[in-house]
Structure 1
């Protein structure tokens, strides 16, 4: 019987971490809390590592765990066009965006380096981390999301998902069929531009379906999605480097990113 490996998780307790850890235990996996920097170092020679936690922690421990962290590219969302986004989106830098007139919605493409929010103008944008002017960001029109849904996708197939918001407020529920129909069309047209394991958020804008964003499964909240199926996606998205598929190599996060 093959070793199912282990799941290294953030030391910060939370519903998603605990749900995924419980699902991993049912698969026979060991759970390791990364409670100190030395925890990951001690796992260097242990095969079968997987990860769930934040980007900062992931970058710090990926080498020691032997894990490849898959993430969408910054240009995927802006490249979809209005058919799928229902709004104008363009990629720029924090420094360039400071001269924008508003209101505009601004967010980092993947990480939570500063709050994704509507800003009255570019002058209201916060300072970034090191090298703030060069920090990549996405700028879009301000839209009103009537409902938002999270989809866990593996090999172009929706494995599980859930509603997570209504008009910007937390509201958890099941996936309606029209969401899956829209997402299946999206993945058929643009799925090649995503990692094989990814989270895609979609929603309703003025009665039309649209893409909110794509995210990393190893840093995504499950909400009411099936934890066991969400775990399958997470394990692929943050698993052993030796198991990374050729198509996914361009999506591997560098440790210093």
Structure 2
């Protein structure tokens, strides 16, 4: 079964149609009885992490996601900038402009902040120990989303030009050879630091320290089961999503360390 959240996005619709085309039963959490029916099936998931956390145990879902510190641990030859994993409490002390984002969820907006004092405070839906990725502010001339399966790009799409949404298929893009060469080099060295199914965003950085020269760099890595497909080939995207969010019993030993942890319970 292919189960989706109740949020109807363009990616949800495309993936649901592709899954149905493969003969899979497709249900939405918005449908009456969807959870009851899903509890009796081998389920694959596409939707947000909050909804996933509510149903994962009941449906025995194995949700793969990259480690929070993956980007911070990458060599600078792949990041093109300084990146560190810290806590929100530490990030509040930053005295310079930074790009800040949660590693994998959407607990606060990913954005450039003038300094740490502009980041969300306790009481705004976050806690002081919330994980935060901080990086130098850089300009990405163009950005691409790559859906990766077993260390190879299964599908890809351009999604932004100078920070503005501008989707187009990777296949046939003028920069496709450059994107694939950079991805091949990255995945050859870092494949085993990522789950077998993952989304990796890459972009072309304009480096002022090098006279404005451009260099390829990783933007971030994310879970495919909550990634917009943009203009990527839907069949390839579905292959990656099915691996990244499926029955827990089918998760390979190599992928077990990338399983999403159960949410913390407060009270």
Q: 1:165 to 1:42 in 2, by over 3 A?
A: same
Establish whether residue 162 from structure 1 lines up as the match of residue 169 from structure 2.
no
1:70 aligns with 2:77: no
Once the two structures are TM-superposed, the CA of residue 254 in structure 1 deviates from its matched residue by 1.9
Secondary structure of 2:243's counterpart equals helix
Displacement of 1:130 in angstroms is 6.0
| Residue of structure 1 in register with 2:184 after alignment | 184
Tell me, in whole angstroms, the C-alpha distance in 2 between the residues paired with 1:15 and 1:127. Answer: 33
> What residue is the counterpart of 1:118 in the other structure?
112
TM-score normalised according to structure 1 size? 0.94
- 1:82 to partner: Cα distance: 1.0
Task: Say which SS state the counterpart of residue 159 (structure 1) adopts.
Answer: strand
Residue number in structure 2 paired with 1:218: 225
Q: Which residue in 2 is equivalent to 1:228?
A: 235
Q: Contact (CA 8 Å) 2:107, 2:125: kept in 1 or not? A: no
1:21-36 pair list within 5 angstroms: 21-35=16-30
Which sections of structure 2, spanning at least 5 residues, go unmatched? 171-175, 207-213
- Give the alignment partner of residue 141 of structure 2, picking from 146, 162, 170: 146
In the TM superposition, 1:1-257 aligns within 5 A as: 6-35=1-30, 39-44=34-39, 46-127=40-121, 132-175=127-170, 176-206=176-206, 207-256=214-263
For the aligned residues, what is the CA RMSD?
1.5
Deviations 1:50-86 (A, max 9, x none): 0000010011111122210000001111111210000
Distance 1:131 1:38, change over 3 A: farther
Q: Classify the secondary structure of the residue corresponding to 2:117.
A: helix
CA distances 1:151-185 after superposition (whole Å, capped 9, x unpaired): 00000010010100000000111321110110010
In structure 1, the gaps of 5 or more residues are 1-5
- In 2, Cα distance between equivalents of 1:251 and 1:36: 30
In the TM superposition, structure 1's runs of 4+ consecutive aligned residues that sit over 6 Å from their partners are: none
1-structure distance, mates of 2:9, 2:114: 33
